[in-house]
Amino acid sequence: MAEAVVLKAEDICKSFGSLEVLKGITLEARNHDVISILGSSGSGKSTFLRCLNMLDPPTSGKVSVHGEEIVVKNGHPADMRQVERARQRLGMVFQQFNLWTHRTAIENVMEGPIHVLKQPKAEVKERAEALLVRVGLAERMNMYPSQLSGGQQQRVAIARALCMEPDAILFDEPTSALDPELVGEVLRVMQSLAAEGRTMIVVTHEMSFARDVSTEVVFMHKGKIAEQGPPKEMFGSPKTEVFQKFIADVR
């Protein structure tokens, strides 16, 4: 019954100078898991996510993708090729979208598969078009990011991650930079991804997403996992005081 482990983080610590941001985080993502990471700002949740694909390499601890450990020495990845391979299998969606502004929506989506994975252009174009249709941007494929709203840009960014056909997707507060009325369109796309069994790790402030969509909720507090479990349990009977307070504050 147990699904294969896609991504595993063991005892991740991360310091920026003398500031200790992560103090030993262990987390496992299996196929089809949708893990929501909650926590107040400064709890280290985004940093943890960025440790997973080595945008911020951990100071200590192990990250493995499909059982292959990414070797980090003295705070730097030992083998960039290995990191690049791992990143190709882990999509990432950023808070600020980070689309390439000099490329159109569809060029953004096609960039990785064509130039990084070296896939044939015609095949990629077909897939990219289908993905943009799926995220509701059929009419805007040839527009530049500056011509799109925040919600549309974020949906392009999701399509860009999907087009790499990743084994798991990391979301770093994907709706935090959006106007409230645009949050829904992005969450709906994410929900449909969860429904089709995508493996996702989502750093978010969206309680409803964490409660209704995710298979597991992780609550981080001051660089550690304070509480972790299935959403029903977590929201039904929060065990720790800090999580109780967090839920109360957010509501």
Partner 1 sequence: MDVFGVFAQFWPELLSGVGITIKLAGLGAIIAGFLAPLLALVRVNGGPAAQVPLRFYISFMRGTPLLAQMFLIYYGSGQFRPFLQDIGLWNFFREPFNCALLAFVMNSTAYQTEILRGGIMGVPHGEIEAGKAVGMSYVMSLRRVVFPHAYRIAWPALGNEIILLIKASALASVVTVFDLMGQTRAIFQKTFDFSVYIWAAVLYLCLTAAFVWIWRRFEHRLSPHIHGKRPSLLGAMTKRETA
The tokens for 99 are 């689309």
Task: Tell me: does residue 165 bind partner 1 (CB under 8 A).
Answer: no
Give Rg (Cα) of the chain: 18
Min CB(73)–partner 1 separation in Å: 18
Residues 6 or more apart in contact with residue 211 via CB below 8 angstroms = 217, 231, 235
Binder of partner 1 out of 142, 192, 240, 244 (CB under 8 A): 142
H or E stretch at 251: none
Q: Are 90 and 52 in contact (CB under 8 A)?
A: yes
Map residues 14-53 to x or -, x wherever contact with partner 1 holds by CB under 8 A: ---------------------------------------x
Burial (CB < 10 A; 0-12, 13-18, 19+), residue 224, is: middle
Task: Tell me: does residue 80 bind partner 1 (CB under 8 A).
Answer: yes
Task: Tell me: does residue 195 bind partner 1 (CB under 8 A).
Answer: no
In 3D space, the residue among 43, 41, 171 whose CA is nearest the CA of residue 96 turns out to be 171
Task: Tell me: does residue 55 bind partner 1 (CB under 8 A).
Answer: yes
By C-beta, is 8 or 87 nearer to partner 1? 87
Task: Tell me: does residue 121 bind partner 1 (CB under 8 A).
Answer: no
The tokens for 56 are 């911020």
Task: Tell me: does residue 235 bind partner 1 (CB under 8 A).
Answer: no
Task: Tell me: does residue 160 bind partner 1 (CB under 8 A).
Answer: yes
Task: Tell me: does residue 100 bind partner 1 (CB under 8 A).
Answer: yes
Q: What is the DSSP annotation of 153-200?
A: HHHHHHHHHHHT--SEEEEESTTTTS-HHHHHHHHHHHHHHHHTT--E
Min CB(137)–partner 1 separation in Å: 15
Task: Tell me: does residue 91 bind partner 1 (CB under 8 A).
Answer: yes
Binder of partner 1 out of 70, 124, 131, 164 (CB under 8 A): 164
In 3D space, the residue among 190, 183, 204, 178 whose CA is nearest the CA of residue 39 turns out to be 204
Q: Which residues bind partner 1 (CB under 8 A)?
A: 53, 55, 80-81, 84-88, 90-92, 94, 96-102, 104, 111-112, 115-116, 142, 144-147, 157, 160, 164
